Chain A
């Protein structure tokens, strides 16, 4: 049974971080323009984090998520070029849709490989997705020959870069998808079974859950999020490359943990994850406004996670020694 953790700590941290950034940037932080730019940047990390949350809740991890996103982007870009006869900028709506569909199918194929290795062959998730990741990185490099592909039609760029009613389109997408995602994770049979599997693989099997197909489903869903991330990324960068955003792989795991998703699986709420992504975004934007080195953001993100771990430790959340669950045989993410 899933334990519903409260998000009180996260709300508190978000308010504190907002206050600190407002004080440090007295003239620039509390501006509409600044919130607009946060709304523009946030969906990218949010979609990646959602895609990472799905397998983690099921007791796994998807190390191939960024590679899958790049794979989607590259396949879409190549299809666009091929189907539009070499002039992707003037591609018709149909061509754009078919190319995007091709990209999504490519992502699902990658997810199916991980899902098969993990769900059907019972290969530990870290190992399986590490293999998928390296394989996809290879495919990405071979497909692009290391070059950057650029030049996409306006309709595709609008997904990541457009504005609707004064709010960035990616943020509208984020709102809609977050609601649907919450329904899937917390209201659907699939979601419920995924939490069960994350809590105890063995118990779920005995309870008659089709663990294979649920795990397969979780990696497909995770890859679908990778595809959505790819479309947002294509719009915002107007290019695709074999190794974009590689450093965001580990950040997506961090965001899940910060959002209260149990790294061993079986627990975590979508609302917590959204709050965590907001915290990371506020830090990132605030640090940027101070004209600090962008890499200082990485350090701040790491630091805030350690602070949260320490705070949770002091409040006793991690002090309760959890029983050694089959010594990690249920999930690859055993307690280190």
Chain B
């Protein structure tokens, strides 16, 4: 199993590498620091949310689809709050995480309370969050947001000069993404909570029997998804410099697809932070590459869709081949070997 997982990430990295070489051959600007920084910045919102999605998918069962609605609510509320009362970026992050955490926890409570698939619960709550946001905001786009977001987005690390004489540097957004990735990696691999999440994904029944607090772990995961949605919301507001009530909703399935691409299993219990990062990176490289090659961005979805269909087909064919070579072991009704 471990070996298979490593393979997914290996192949993914290989594909990204090949694509990068191909794009660079046609347009060497691809490998410029300016372009890479830009690419990472524009996909940091998706990347941050993807870490939360990974946690839910490891837990097993159906995906959470409400995180974009949660981020949308958090973004709008924080933008309005800062406009009205001012504040600083740290406070914005805290408030957004708090809002996200509360809404995520609500999902967790509902999932624990009713034995209904996560996707059903979260479609319902996502409709409620998004619908109420639209009712209260009346769909109004806020074009002028508090300058603290602009100040935050303009912070750069390093001061480089591009060929065209434009100053640039690494924005803080990809760094926040990196921090979230490291946090997720640490929680999944080095904490009891993380190991419990994998255990529940492997077999919920077994996890319950060995005394893992299944409900508490699920509550944590859904709260965590919400908190990350909140963080992503502030990053998004800083990047787009506005609050549009429907700018994030509708992306949820793309994020989920990227996490699946990164090796997460539909059955739970599998998936890594590295794979998730590579999944998002692949989307970013495809998106950026099309622009640099002068291909219309309309082709983006076709490429992503084709990559998904081809990769799942290859892994399915591999699995079928393995099954054929596997030795069959006869077991009786209680699972003992006979």
B-binding residues in A (CB < 8 A): 63, 113, 117, 121-124, 126-128, 130-139, 141-142, 145-146, 246-247, 250-251, 253-254, 257, 263-264, 292-293, 295-303, 305-306, 309-310, 313, 318-319, 321-322, 324, 327-329, 332-336
Beta-carbon contact of B260 and A263 below 8 Å: no
19 further A-B contacts with Cβ under 8 Å, apart from A145-B296, A298-B128, A332-B266, are A117-B313, A117-B316, A128-B309, A130-B308, A134-B254, A134-B305, A142-B302, A247-B250, A295-B131, A296-B131, A299-B128, A302-B128, A313-B114, A318-B114, A321-B115, A327-B203, A327-B205, A328-B267, A329-B267
Among the stretches B43-51, B55-63, B165-173, B235-243, the one at the interface with A is: B55-63
Contact of B115 among A135, A299, A322, A332 (CB under 8 A): A322
Which among B65, B118, B312 has the highest number of chain A CB atoms within 10 Å? Answer: B312
Does B117 make an interface contact (CB < 8 A)?
yes
Closest to A323 in B: B205
Interchain Cβ contacts under 8 Å between A and B, 9 examples: A122-B319, A126-B62, A127-B308, A131-B312, A138-B298, A247-B250, A296-B132, A336-B62, A336-B121
Q: With A142-B298, A327-B205, A332-B266 known to touch, is A135 a contact of B306 (CB < 8 Å)? A: yes
Q: With A145-B298, A327-B205, A334-B117 known to touch, is A131 a contact of B123 (CB < 8 Å)? A: no
By a CB distance below 8 angstroms, the chain A residues around B132 are 296, 299
Beta-carbon contact of A138 and B117 below 8 Å: no
Does B287 make an interface contact (CB < 8 A)?
no
By a CB distance below 8 angstroms, the chain A residues around B120 are 253-254, 257, 263, 305, 309
Beta-carbon contact of A324 and B62 below 8 Å: no
By a CB distance below 8 angstroms, the chain A residues around B203 are 327
Q: Name the interface residues of B254-278: CB closer than 8 Å to any CB of A.
A: 254, 256-257, 260, 266-268
By a CB distance below 8 angstroms, the chain B residues around A139 are 302
Contact of A122 among B123, B301, B316 (CB under 8 A): B316
Beta-carbon contact of A136 and B305 below 8 Å: yes
Contact of A130 among B121, B131, B205, B256 (CB under 8 A): B256
Does B329 make an interface contact (CB < 8 A)?
no
Does B300 make an interface contact (CB < 8 A)?
yes
Beta-carbon contact of A142 and B299 below 8 Å: yes
Does B160 make an interface contact (CB < 8 A)?
no
Nearest first, the 7 closest Cβ-Cβ pairs linking A and B are: A135-B305, A299-B131, A138-B301, A336-B118, A336-B61, A302-B127, A138-B302
Beta-carbon contact of B298 and A302 below 8 Å: no
Does B111 make an interface contact (CB < 8 A)?
yes
A-binding residues in B (CB < 8 A): 59-63, 65, 110-111, 113-121, 123-128, 130-135, 138-139, 203-205, 250, 253-254, 256-257, 260, 266-268, 296, 298-306, 308-309, 312-313, 316-317, 319-320
From residue A203, how far is it (CB to closest CB) to chain B in Å? 15
Beta-carbon contact of B301 and A310 below 8 Å: no
By a CB distance below 8 angstroms, the chain B residues around A299 are 127-128, 130-132, 135
> In the complex, A257→B60 CA distance in Å?
20
> In the complex, A131→B315 CA distance in Å?
14
> In the complex, A122→B117 CA distance in Å?
21
From residue A135, how far is it (CB to closest CB) to chain B in Å? 3
Beta-carbon contact of B313 and A263 below 8 Å: no
Beta-carbon contact of B267 and A130 below 8 Å: no
Beta-carbon contact of B60 and A334 below 8 Å: yes
From residue A181, how far is it (CB to closest CB) to chain B in Å? 22
Beta-carbon contact of B309 and A135 below 8 Å: yes
Closest to B132 in A: A299
Beta-carbon contact of B116 and A263 below 8 Å: yes
From residue A293, how far is it (CB to closest CB) to chain B in Å? 5
By a CB distance below 8 angstroms, the chain A residues around B301 are 134-135, 137-138, 141
> In the complex, A247→B126 CA distance in Å?
11
> In the complex, A299→B138 CA distance in Å?
14
By a CB distance below 8 angstroms, the chain A residues around B111 are 336
> In the complex, A121→B110 CA distance in Å?
34
Q: With A127-B266, A328-B61 known to touch, is A117 a contact of B114 (CB < 8 Å)? A: no
Which among B132, B133, B317 has the highest number of chain A CB atoms within 10 Å? Answer: B132
By a CB distance below 8 angstroms, the chain A residues around B305 are 131-138
Contact of A117 among B135, B257, B309 (CB under 8 A): B309
Q: With A123-B313, A327-B204 known to touch, is A333 a contact of B114 (CB < 8 Å)? A: no
Closest to A299 in B: B131
> In the complex, A145→B299 CA distance in Å?
10
